Chain A
């Protein structure tokens, strides 16, 4: 550890930040009613302020790398601005020991009309370097930014990537004791990103402190010594990055689940209200759902059909559930998880000719898998009253993404009783960002002359 070890580089204690909203006067009617109800003062106060952070505390010992994660609007960037000293906390205190450099917006001080060379000097001085220091590091900065041939061109002629790279190069060469990074690694191509990461690693080795705000959870896990999870302006957890990231992912999934469930419920509601969804319109809605005169209109090509529901409804699919390995209904599954598709069916009168079918489609509308009981050589005998049909998939080996589900009951000749087209949505999550549709269960093996390693976990 370098000098300053054992000391706290950043101390944030009980910090709250309230943003006031000006010029957002309530409407007169409401104002009048507020006066009448005597709540004017409290109402105005509540209306005009917004708590970006509430009672957040953490410390970062010198030499540690500290990650801040959280959803959009959770207060991450506000936190960073407070630590950088750009804004001040409403209550609480922020203490930073040592020179700070904030990679919040790269090239914020660049003037478009003047050359990259002059901008490097101006930007460097703004960030606290002296002219001499910049002159000494100038070549290094230009080389890092990969802008040797363009350094004397005005910055306005730069592409956004060049602009960012130069901004990053200057900021990183300020040689701060505390480096604040706000989601700036999406700056350049792969190569540049690696260079940035290497630079961060070098910082770490030299015992500098880094505060990293990012949505890249993998980076936090690999790179940070501690992590803070902000949610709605409050600290939801602080500590071991693996644990924090895990808790955060679970929470995100939970809310995604709630969202999917809500859209699903809406789709289902629409289905139950509309007799024949493919026709839509008032007539279809008014027609009795089981009207036998209404000819089931099957789209000419089932792979081109959009979502909807059609069929004669002699047998109905009353609802569809997706169950996880514990048998709980869910909409989010992990790649390779055990998933059961459960159809609740109801027959108006007993039938003997019926086939259950299921199809999985990805977001591009590609059929990932489709099967039915007829294809799998089941011969239908009888169905009456209500019942459940389960398709258990032992290992749903799909890659990450959003998928839609087709379910159907029809006669062997294709006459549809009830066809639900792309009405059900679920999401597959995966820690591996592999691509394609299908992930066959697999493992890598290397002969002894080929050496690879996984990051320490």
Chain B
């Protein structure tokens, strides 16, 4: 397993190329091209803002005004997370040709999926910055220094889950359908469109959800003023993510030989 992990470093170039291919191919042929990376989250944001400020006004507490900005802090990373997982669940099957016909370390495929979605996340950030400037939010440098840490932890967590999902879906195709429902549930079980304080009755439950802490971290850094107080939870999730990554990679490695036969 460790040997394979080290091997993976040798495939840096391939991973880079495949991520670039993924991004190029995604918007090839569409008029707006890369702008879709901006437009998609923007439209999503508009819909949620409309629903929660016009259709259901007064459903959110004062502390999360401006609401659009609050929501955007959570939706952007969530999109990265959920797209990565749902794409990874399918990636070994749709990339079956590569696994079956080319000598190819299969873990590259879910990793590329996660990385490509991370790039999309980065493309969404300028919009977030525009919002931050528009609403004149004050962000301290010390808080901002935590931002890459949060991104890194989310990367590890997403990769770990993607590896597990990719490997298991080869054997249990039902996972794809279960996952799409689970992700919807997960979205609402995470304080993204509501603040943690609004769901105090389910505090333990929220705390068990690793994405709660990522969402809260993003919100504390970008939205709420004041010092970054969530770092203990964040680092705990970080440690758990690293552990999960090894578990996921171990599982993936164990099932590796079955991929070429099962996809």
Contact = CB atoms under 8 A, between A and B. Distances in A.
Contacts of B102: 86, 102, 104-105, 108-109, 126-127
A130 B103 contact: no
Contacts of A111: 21, 25
Interface stretch (A114-122, A143-151, A262-270, A427-435): A114-122
A154 B103 CA distance: 25
Interface in A118-140: 118, 121-122, 125-127, 130-131
A79 interface: no
Contacts of A127: 102
Contact of B21 (A19, A84, A114, A131): A114
B140 interface: no
Interface in B100-157: 100-104
B60 to A, nearest CB: 41
B97 A109 contact: yes
B39 to A, nearest CB: 19
Given A87-B257, A87-B260, A113-B29, A118 B24 contact: yes
B177 interface: no
B28 A114 contact: yes
A297 B261 CA distance: 59
Interface in B1-58: 13-14, 17-18, 21, 24-25, 28-29
Interface in A203-228: none
B21 A118 contact: yes
B167 to A, nearest CB: 15
Interface string B237-263: 000000000000000000001001110
A108 B21 contact: no
B98 A113 contact: no
A234 interface: no
A86 B24 contact: no
Interface in A62-98: 81, 84-88
B150 to A, nearest CB: 32
A348 B98 CA distance: 71
A114 B260 contact: no
A245 interface: no
A249 to B, nearest CB: 30
A100 B102 CA distance: 11
Contact of B103 (A84, A113, A114): A84
Contacts of B260: 81, 86-87
B28 A154 contact: yes
A85 B260 CA distance: 11
B25 A113 contact: yes
Contacts of B18: 122
A127 B171 CA distance: 27
Contacts of B29: 113
B25 A108 contact: no
Nearest to A20: B261
B197 to A, nearest CB: 46
A87 B13 contact: no
Q: Which 7 A-B pairs have the closest CB atoms?
A: A105-B101, A108-B101, A113-B25, A113-B28, A108-B97, A104-B101, A87-B260
